[in-house]
């Protein structure tokens, strides 16, 4: 299902001593994280816990104040063409061209990444993401859930060895969230590494090999999802699991 380039079955993403501050405020305390091909790590925590900042750092969209990030041994830089060819990111904001249809968005991404038989692959992804009946619609005519599905489809239509997702379940209805879980399991089976920010512990339980629970930029717990989520948190913030 996934269209990937060849990836070694080893560590793809590595964060070493990564921290980040905005002025005097430290939003991410030192974090070490590794992610291998075919593995999913989920970042959990309440709003403002630092998980989205950590994802942006992992994607090379934000430079850490300290520490380093590497992708397959390369310094992580989203402008490096070697990395752009293998890393797909779905952020927490919707950014679309207002005058391009859903199909045209996907064709643009597929052609830009040199996908063979781009039109045929686009039609496949449109059906897979339940967007076939909205293929000719402009972004302004889409519901919030359909816009989220378009963002996911843009990631699915291109090659990828690493998939970085910031709350991909937001704005999706229950059926679409179930399809998302199925999609992520298929990605993992194809050897794609997935780093996932989510508020839904059920999604983490379904697809993640490990979870990190963050609070105020600090890792409170790390380990297999069921082990971590069944254990009491080390601080009193119940929202730290969400």
Cβ–Cβ < 8 Å for 81, 64: no
Could you give the 3-state DSSP secondary structure of residue 136?
A: coil
Cβ–Cβ < 8 Å for 231, 221: yes
- Three-class DSSP labels, 106-124: HHHHHHHCCCCCHHHHHHH
Structural domains in the chain, CATH included, are: 1-86+194-242 (3.40.50.300)
Beta strand pairing call for 40-44 and 210-215: parallel
pLDDT of residue 4: 42
Cβ–Cβ < 8 Å for 159, 85: yes
pLDDT of residue 8: 42
Token pair of 163 as six digits: 């998939």
Cβ–Cβ < 8 Å for 86, 159: yes
- Please state the pTM of the whole predicted model: 0.88
Is pLDDT above 60 for 7?
no
pLDDT of residue 233: 60
Q: What is the DSSP letter of 32?
A: E
List, in sequence order, every beta strand (DSSP E) within 63-205: 66-71, 74-75, 87-90, 162-166, 193-197
The tens digit of pLDDT for each residue in 104-136 reads 999 999 999 999 999 999 999 999 889 999 999
């Amino acid at each position: 299902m996934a269209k990937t380039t060849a990836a070694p079955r080893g560590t793809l993403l590595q964060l070493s001593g990564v921290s980040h501050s905005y002025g005097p405020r430290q939003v991410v305390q030192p974090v070490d994280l590794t992610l291998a091909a075919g593995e999913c790590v989920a970042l959990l925590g309440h709003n403002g816990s630092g998980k989205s900042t950590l994802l942006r750092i992992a994607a090379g969209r934000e430079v850490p104040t300290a520490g380093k990030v590497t992708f397959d041994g390369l310094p992580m830089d989203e402008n490096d063409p070697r990395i752009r060819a293998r890393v797909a990111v779905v952020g927490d904001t919707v950014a679309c061209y207002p005058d391009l249809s859903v199909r045209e968005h996907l064709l643009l991404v597929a052609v830009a990444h040199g996908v063979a038989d781009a039109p045929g692959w686009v039609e496949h992804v449109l059906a897979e993401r339940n967007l076939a009946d909205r293929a000719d619609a402009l972004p302004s005519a889409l519901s919030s859930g359909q816009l989220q599905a378009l963002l996911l489809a843009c990631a699915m239509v291109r090659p990828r060895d690493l998939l970085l997702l910031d709350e991909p379940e937001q704005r999706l209805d229950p059926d679409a969230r179930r399809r998302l879980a199925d999609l992520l399991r298929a990605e993992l089976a194809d050897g794609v590494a997935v780093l996932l920010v989510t508020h839904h512990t059920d999604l983490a339980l379904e697809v993640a090999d490990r979870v990190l629970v963050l609070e105020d930029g600090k890792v409170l717990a790390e380990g297999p999802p069921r082990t971590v989520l069944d254990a009491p948190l080390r601080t009193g913030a119940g929202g730290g699991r969400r």
